[in-house]
């Protein structure tokens, strides 16, 4: 799809043509980092109580699940694909967990591996269909999105509140650090996932294959890289991350509901783009995705602190940021236009 | 078609032509769905005239399917250029919010002038939104899915900004006409949708426009080399898609006499894409079928109606839709066809038109 329309377009002028490609791909990341610092500074000046380490930690507490989901989305976007099913998979995980723990009385320790397995397996299935039948990822994951959301409703049309003591205790645990600062268990899990993803993407053979696949699939195949396996694995990773994100969201909300995580696929993709990953694939940073998630969380924090702003401003600002970063990506041309 | 050995004659010829026709499968699916409904509800096909209006399940399907048909119509042309427009749902919400907002704040909400101004306002903004999408795609060369994602994310926020987060209700007889009114015993929405579909079909099939759009989708580089102004055409289809979505938004909000920034046209983009795909327009671009899209939209609408008739929880429609998407895409996938056909031992490939073979052609690179 990208080749098609980009081909018809006039080649955009690139004001930074002399800058090396390596630096150029990092510009959006730099912009995001500067933006984050600027937002924090402006917030500290404007609002009382904004300048505290706990506000920063709260960003992680409130967005830990999004971070995990966005990390999974980054894997897919890096290969040049897209996964629209993540939001629904998160919702399915929350409903499945709540239903198994509450209505069926299963222990949480048994439910967690099952939910993760369901996520990874459905991701792998979608990846398999995409690879074997050469159907666009967009359509297959769209079907996955419908299916997962529909399955939520078949399990329960109402919100299932969790009262299971183990789960509640786990959700309310606060890990205290120096100076009375605290984080929740999901934050630790999310950060662990981030570190793991960083290591996998930048220091393993699988990670390099992911980048190669996004750079040019035919070249990757000619180089003898395992294209099919990697593609399936990438969607499995995304499904696994969505399931894990769903578990973290279950802890955060202490309920399972089919309407949870509406539109989270958009937030995850937005975080990935704002974090400097090219949507055409082949170039990007998983740490950038973390910055993107923090920017999204910061917008929400701003809206909360301002008090008079309505919640819809969050969506408008995210849309505007997306526009800026996508135009920036085109102008920087991290990779040459597809028309070549 | 028949079990008799094929004899050279008019019957066999018609059978063969029908068998290869691209609208065969959508038509059969629609008929099967409709007949399936009769099994559960025996007066499903009955259409009565009451108070000078047509009543009946079939009329309901047509009336509630009208907005979806329009959105799918716009989407068809976008998909024909190998694009996709995810922002139509947001455009529906924005158009509804603008029109209802204008009417509810005006001094005379019942006057035709107010309603016409509101409609013009909504359509005008839709043109701007479509142009923004079109310029991102054709001017900057952004992937269509990404370019329209921006408006999809921001659009609902904008719609809520216009309505102030409230559900704006309007009481205006002329406005009610657009989506809920009747004209010459027919629902006005159905007439409006039919008129737009016929107009589009004439414009694309009786002029070169359709061919140009197909060539841009089939092979962008080659069509640029033969001198087609692809950029303008691309922008045009996105503007057209936004306009169709805006009219659909007017219909939806007029039917329920209110605009809800959050829920108006929610997920209609997905239904529209589904309708287009079910109708036989391939997502790989290069060919489109307006008749197929109309059938596709009616199939989706009938599916929703069926689920209500069966008394299944309406939310499970999503599961049905998921299976429909997967099956239709698998059937359309050349790889899947090749594998399944080979397994069946059929060696004669089906005759393909040149447009059909377009996705397999080698791309011409400029």
* CATH number of domain containing B289: 1.10.3470
Residues of chain B above pLDDT 70, percent: 87
Same domain, yes or no, for B102 and B54?
Answer: yes
Q: Which of A44-58, A92-106, B105-119, B275-289 has the highest mean pLDDT?
A: A92-106
User: Nearest Cβ partner of A5 from B83, B326, B365?
Assistant: B83
Same domain, yes or no, for B343 and B305?
Answer: no
Chain A residue numbers touching B321 (CB-CB < 8 A)? 143, 146, 150
Same domain, yes or no, for B149 and B40?
Answer: yes
Contact B283 A279 (CB under 8 A): no
Contact A316 B365 (CB under 8 A): no
Chain A residue numbers touching B319 (CB-CB < 8 A)? 146-147, 150-151, 154
Separation in Å, CA of A317 to nearest CA in chain B: 7
Q: Place B146 in a pLDDT band, splitting at 50, 70 and 90.
A: confident
Show the domain range for B329: 316-347
A95 vs B: CB within 8 A: no
- Nearest residue in chain B measured CA to CA from A4: B220
User: Considering the domain boundaries, does residue A130 fall inside one?
Assistant: yes
pLDDT of residue B11: 59
Residue A302, pLDDT above cutoff 90: no
Residues 53..92 of A with a Cβ closer than 8 Å to B: which? Answer: 82
**DSSP annotation of B139:** I
pLDDT digits (tens, 9 = 90+) for A53-70: 888 888 888 899 999 999
Same domain, yes or no, for B97 and B202?
Answer: yes
pLDDT digits (tens, 9 = 90+) for B298-309: 998 888 888 777
A226 vs B: CB within 8 A: no
B161: Cβ contacts below 8 Å, ≥ 6 apart: A310, A312, A313, A316, B261
User: Considering the domain boundaries, does residue B62 fall inside one?
Assistant: yes
pLDDT digits (tens, 9 = 90+) for B165-182: 888 888 888 888 888 878
Mean pLDDT of all residues belonging to chain A: 85
Q: Where is pLDDT greater, at B205 or B183? A: B205
Separation in Å, CA of B318 to nearest CA in chain A: 5
pLDDT of residue A1: 40
User: Considering the domain boundaries, does residue B168 fall inside one?
Assistant: yes
Q: Which of A328-337, B133-142, B337-346 has the highest mean pLDDT?
A: B133-142
User: Nearest Cβ partner of B318 from A150, A157, A273?
Assistant: A150
**Calpha distance A72→A77 (Å, rounded):** 9
Q: Where is pLDDT greater, at B42 or B35? A: B35
Residue corresponding to tokens 């769209």? A142
User: Considering the domain boundaries, does residue B357 fall inside one?
Assistant: no
Instruction: Specify the number of domains making up chain A.
Output: 1
Separation in Å, CA of A93 to nearest CA in chain B: 16
User: Considering the domain boundaries, does residue B232 fall inside one?
Assistant: yes
Separation in Å, CA of A2 to nearest CA in chain B: 5
**What is the rounded average pLDDT of the residues B121-136?**
94
CATH of the domain at A263: 1.10.3470
Q: Place A334 in a pLDDT band, splitting at 50, 70 and 90.
A: very low
Residue A289 CB-density burial (10 A; 0-12 exposed, 13-18 middle, 19+ buried) = buried
User: Considering the domain boundaries, does residue B358 fall inside one?
Assistant: no
User: Considering the domain boundaries, does residue A257 fall inside one?
Assistant: yes
A133 vs B: CB within 8 A: yes
Same domain, yes or no, for B252 and B302?
Answer: yes
Q: What are the CA-CA distances from residue A265 to residues A231, A239, A326 (Å)?
A: 19, 12, 17
- Full-prediction pTM beyond 0.95? no
Q: Per DSSP, what are the bridge partners of residue B49? A: B54
B151 vs A: CB within 8 A: yes
**Interface mutation vs chain B, best among A1, A4, A257, A329, most B CBs within 10 Å:** A4
B154 vs A: CB within 8 A: yes
Burial A119-139 (b: 16+ CB within 10 A, else e): bbebbbbbbbbbbebebbbbb
For chain B, the first-to-last Cα distance in angstroms comes to 46
Chain B residue numbers touching A316 (CB-CB < 8 A)? 154, 157-158, 161
Contact B153 A266 (CB under 8 A): yes
User: Considering the domain boundaries, does residue B13 fall inside one?
Assistant: no
Residue A284, pLDDT above cutoff 60: yes
Residues of chain A above pLDDT 70, percent: 91
Contact B224 A7 (CB under 8 A): yes
Separation in Å, CA of B339 to nearest CA in chain A: 9
- Nearest residue in chain A measured CA to CA from B325: A143
Same domain, yes or no, for B221 and B333?
Answer: no
pLDDT of residue B15: 60
A73: Cβ contacts below 8 Å, ≥ 6 apart: A83, A86, A238, A241, A265, A268, A269, A271, A272, A289
User: Considering the domain boundaries, does residue A224 fall inside one?
Assistant: yes
Show which of B311, B338, B359 is a domain's final residue.
B311
Same domain, yes or no, for B320 and B280?
Answer: no
User: Considering the domain boundaries, does residue A220 fall inside one?
Assistant: yes
Show the domain range for A177: 16-332
Residue in A139, A93, A151, A97 with CA at minimum distance from that of residue A1:
A139
Same domain, yes or no, for B327 and B198?
Answer: no
**What is the rounded average pLDDT of the residues A88-110?**
91
Contact B82 A147 (CB under 8 A): no
User: Nearest Cβ partner of A147 from B146, B156, B322?
Assistant: B322
User: Considering the domain boundaries, does residue A152 fall inside one?
Assistant: yes
pLDDT of residue B358: 40
**Interface mutation vs chain A, best among B232, B303, B318, most A CBs within 10 Å:** B318
Same domain, yes or no, for B128 and B42?
Answer: yes
Dihedral in degrees, nearest 10, Cα atoms A274, A84, B275, A147: -160
pLDDT of residue B20: 61
User: Considering the domain boundaries, does residue A5 fall inside one?
Assistant: no
User: Considering the domain boundaries, does residue A105 fall inside one?
Assistant: yes
A280 vs B: CB within 8 A: yes
Same domain, yes or no, for B232 and B321?
Answer: no
Q: Per DSSP, what are the bridge partners of residue B167? A: B260
Contact A147 B319 (CB under 8 A): yes
Q: Is ipTM beyond 0.85?
A: no
Instruction: Specify the number of domains making up chain B.
Output: 2
Residue B17, pLDDT above cutoff 70: no
Chain A residue numbers touching B81 (CB-CB < 8 A)? 4-5
Task: Count Cβ atoms below 10 Å from residue B34 Cβ, excluding itself.
Answer: 19
User: Considering the domain boundaries, does residue A169 fall inside one?
Assistant: yes
pLDDT digits (tens, 9 = 90+) for B214-249: 888 888 888 888 888 888 899 999 999 999 999 999
Residue A301, pLDDT above cutoff 90: no
Chain B residue numbers touching A279 (CB-CB < 8 A)? 143, 146
Residues 240..299 of B with a Cβ closer than 8 Å to A: which? Answer: 261, 270, 273, 277, 283-285
Same domain, yes or no, for B307 and B323?
Answer: no
Q: Among the listed ranges B269-273, B291-295, B325-329, B357-361, which one has the minimum average pLDDT value? A: B357-361
User: Considering the domain boundaries, does residue B215 fall inside one?
Assistant: yes
Residue A271, pLDDT above cutoff 80: yes
A87: Cβ contacts below 8 Å, ≥ 6 apart: A145, A261, A262, A263, A264, A265, A266, A268
pLDDT of residue A7: 42
Q: Among the listed ranges A200-209, B10-19, B194-203, which one has the minimum average pLDDT value? A: B10-19
Contact A132 B335 (CB under 8 A): yes
pLDDT digits (tens, 9 = 90+) for B314-341: 777 778 778 877 887 787 777 787 877 6
Chain B residue numbers touching A280 (CB-CB < 8 A)? 143
Same domain, yes or no, for B335 and B271?
Answer: no
């Amino acid at each position: 799809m990208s080749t098609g329309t980009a081909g018809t377009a006039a080649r955009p002028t690139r004001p930074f043509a002399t800058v090396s490609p390596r630096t150029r791909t990092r510009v959006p990341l730099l912009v995001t980092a500067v933006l984050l610092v600027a937002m924090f500074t402006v917030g500290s000046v404007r609002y009382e109580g904004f300048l505290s380490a706990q506000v920063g930690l709260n960003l992680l507490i409130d967005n830990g699940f999004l971070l995990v989901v966005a990390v999974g989305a980054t894997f897919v976007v890096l290969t040049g694909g897209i996964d629209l099913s993540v939001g629904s998979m998160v919702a399915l995980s929350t409903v499945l967990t709540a239903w198994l723990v509450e209505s069926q009385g299963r222990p949480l320790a048994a439910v967690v591996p099952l939910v993760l397995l369901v996520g990874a397996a459905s991701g792998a299935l979608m990846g398999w269909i995409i690879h074997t039948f050469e159907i666009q990822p967009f359509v297959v994951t769209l079907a996955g999105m419908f299916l997962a959301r529909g399955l939520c409703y078949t399990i329960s049309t109402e919100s299932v509140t969790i009262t299971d003591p183990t789960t509640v205790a786990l959700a309310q645990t606060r890990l205290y650090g120096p100076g009375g600062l605290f984080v929740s268990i999901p934050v630790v899990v999310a950060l662990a996932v981030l570190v793991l993803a960083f290591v996998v993407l930048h220091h393993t053979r699988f990670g390099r294959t992911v980048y190669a696949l996004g750079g040019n699939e035919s070249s990757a195949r000619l180089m003898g890289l395992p294209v099919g396996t990697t593609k399936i694995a990438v969607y499995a990773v995304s499904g696994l991350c969505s399931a894990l994100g769903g578990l973290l969201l279950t802890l955060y909300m202490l309920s399972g509901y089919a309407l949870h995580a509406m539109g989270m696929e958009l937030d995850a993709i937005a975080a990935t783009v704002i974090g400097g990953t090219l949507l055409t694939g082949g170039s990007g940073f998983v740490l950038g995705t973390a910055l993107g998630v923090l920017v999204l969380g910061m917008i929400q924090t701003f809206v909360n602190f301002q008090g008079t702003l309505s919640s819809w401003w969050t969506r408008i600002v995210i849309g505007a940021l997306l526009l800026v970063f996508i135009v920036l990506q085109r102008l920087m041309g991290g990779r040459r236009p597809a028309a070549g | 078609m028949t079990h008799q050995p094929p004899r050279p004659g008019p019957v066999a010829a018609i059978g063969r032509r029908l068998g290869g026709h691209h609208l065969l499968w959508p038509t059969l699916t629609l008929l099967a769905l409709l007949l399936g409904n009769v099994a559960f509800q025996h007066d499903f096909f009955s259409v009565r005239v009451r108070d000078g209006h047509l009543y009946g399940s079939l009329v309901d399907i047509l009336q509630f399917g009208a907005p979806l048909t329009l959105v799918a119509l716009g989407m068809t042309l976008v998909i024909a250029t190998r694009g996709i427009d995810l922002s139509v749902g947001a455009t529906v919400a924005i158009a509804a919010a603008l029109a209802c907002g204008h009417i509810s704040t005006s001094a005379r909400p019942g006057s035709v002038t107010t309603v016409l101004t509101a409609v013009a306002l909504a359509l005008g903004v839709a043109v701007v939104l479509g142009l923004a999408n079109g310029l991102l795609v054709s001017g900057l060369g952004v992937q269509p899915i990404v370019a329209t994602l921006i408006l999809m994310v921001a659009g609902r926020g904008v719609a809520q900004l216009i309505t102030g987060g409230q559900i704006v209700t309007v009481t205006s007889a002329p406005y009610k006409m657009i989506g809920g009114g009747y004209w010459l015993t027919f629902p006005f929405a159905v007439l409006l949708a039919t008129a737009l579909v016929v107009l589009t079909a004439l414009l694309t099939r009786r002029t070169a426009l359709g061919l140009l759009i197909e060539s841009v989708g089939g092979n962008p580089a080659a069509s640029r080399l033969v001198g087609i102004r692809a950029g303008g055409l691309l922008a045009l289809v996105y503007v057209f898609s936004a306009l169709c979505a805006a009219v659909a938004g007017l219909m939806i909000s007029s039917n329920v006499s209110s605009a809800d920034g959050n829920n108006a046209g929610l997920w209609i983009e997905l239904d529209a894409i589904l309708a287009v795909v079910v109708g036989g327009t391939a997502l790989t671009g290069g060919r489109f079928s307006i008749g197929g899209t109309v059938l596709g939209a009616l199939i989706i609408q009938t599916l929703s109606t069926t689920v209500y008739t069966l008394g299944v929880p309406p939310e499970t429609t999503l599961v049905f839709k998921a299976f429909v998407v997967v099956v239709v895409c698998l059937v359309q996938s050349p790889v899947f066809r090749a594998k399944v056909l080979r397994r069946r031992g059929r060696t004669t490939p089906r005759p393909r038109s040149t447009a059909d073979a377009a996705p397999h052609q080698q791309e011409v690179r400029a």
